[in-house]
Structure 1
Amino acid sequence: MEKLTLVLKKIIKMHSKILSALEENNIHYKEIEHSSFLAPINSPIDFAGALGLDLERISKSVFLRSKKRDKYIIAVCSCNKKLDLKKIAALADVNKIEVADRQELESMIGYPPTGVSAIGLNPSITVFIDNALLNLETIFIGSGEIAKELELSPKDLVKLSNGKLSNIC
């Protein structure tokens, strides 16, 4: 039984919640492992360079919380942009937001810090997606696992995450 588990872990490279959402919604995607490149991938700049793409196509998903810890948010934008926390707080109807800690990330989402994704989340977590991502044909997002990314349409990300589009940068 242990051997079968190991084989399945090698075949399924992304988090199972994300894979289920993609399959249930018949979403076209491509999975890319950092280890498939000759040069090491240590940053989004490395990843974009290895792909030969503009950095704006590599997204970041940041797990945020209200100061009172009663509201949780994922904010998604191009990794070369800076999130405007005041705008996001206003959109979320809270006074102040901050980056959630690692324990909250693990307990509430179950993805590692470098594999956060807006897909497969508890519906109580609000997702805001920077509307500039819709100008791109495809983007790269976290797969729920370390050193593995997914390429998909930003429109599909909005659909899968029930994301709210806004200018959050």
Structure 2
Amino acid sequence: MTIESVKESLKKHQADDRIQVLGESSATVKDAALALNCKEEEIAKTMAFHVNDQTVVVVMAGDVKIANAKFKAEFGVKAKMIKGDQVEALTGHPPGGVCPFGLKNDVTVYLDESLRRFDTVYPACGSANSAIEITIEELETFTNFPKWVDISKEMN
């Protein structure tokens, strides 16, 4: 899967030609912000979790982290991130490239409220050196998400 599945997914929205393949790593929020010349909070990080027997990903702003109590209230279970060696098998994307596009069919995408304060954000595109700049409205359209969630807390 990886970047090729993302291209196929974004092609449906005529956005595949906007994917940026970078000359350096964008695997972390800090690396991505440096490579894209943007603020860390504008990076739309995608985090993968086990929720009961399902894989879910939550897209959130780069400057927040999971609020465990909010996560449990929303999903009914404690936040349990997918281990690095299982990420690609369960999502279709490698660590550092997990994004809300071109995922395996059984992965559900949620968007965190922390993103709503931006006009545009930069999610990865299936590899540890790719990204796309998209509007929040495009993120909603491109991801087929069921709903917005509020599961983040600000980082200090």
Give the structure-2-normalised TM-score. Answer: 0.80
Match of 2:128 in 1: 146
> Structure 1 residues 88 and 53 mapped into 2: Cα distance closer, same or farther (>3 Å)?
same
Q: Are the counterparts in 2 of residues 27 and 156 from structure 1 also a CA contact under 8 Å?
A: no
Q: Distance in 1 between matches of 2:26 and 2:144?
A: 30
1:114 paired to 2:96: yes
What is the alpha-carbon root mean square deviation over aligned residues? 2.4
Match of 2:50 in 1: 65
> Structure 1 residues 137 and 146 mapped into 2: Cα distance closer, same or farther (>3 Å)?
same
Match of 2:66 in 1: 83
Match of 1:3 in 2: none
User: Match for 2:23 among 35, 48, 66?
Assistant: 35
> Structure 1 residues 50 and 135 mapped into 2: Cα distance closer, same or farther (>3 Å)?
same
Report % sequence identity: 22
Match of 2:14 in 1: 26
User: Match for 2:80 among 87, 91, 98?
Assistant: 98
Deviation string, structure 1 residues 82-127 (Cα, Å, up to 9, x no partner): 12233233322x3223011234322122211000011122343222
Higher relative contact order (CA 8 A, sep 6+): 2
> Structure 1 residues 120 and 51 mapped into 2: Cα distance closer, same or farther (>3 Å)?
closer
Match of 2:107 in 1: 125
| Long gaps (5+) in structure 1 | 1-13
Aligned AA (1:88): F
1:74 paired to 2:57: yes
Q: Are the counterparts in 2 of residues 34 and 47 from structure 1 also a CA contact under 8 Å?
A: no
The list of structure 1 runs, each at least 4 consecutive aligned residues, that deviate by more than 6 angstroms after superposition, is none
Q: Which has the larger radius of gyration?
A: 1
What secondary structure sits across from 2:133 in the alignment?
strand
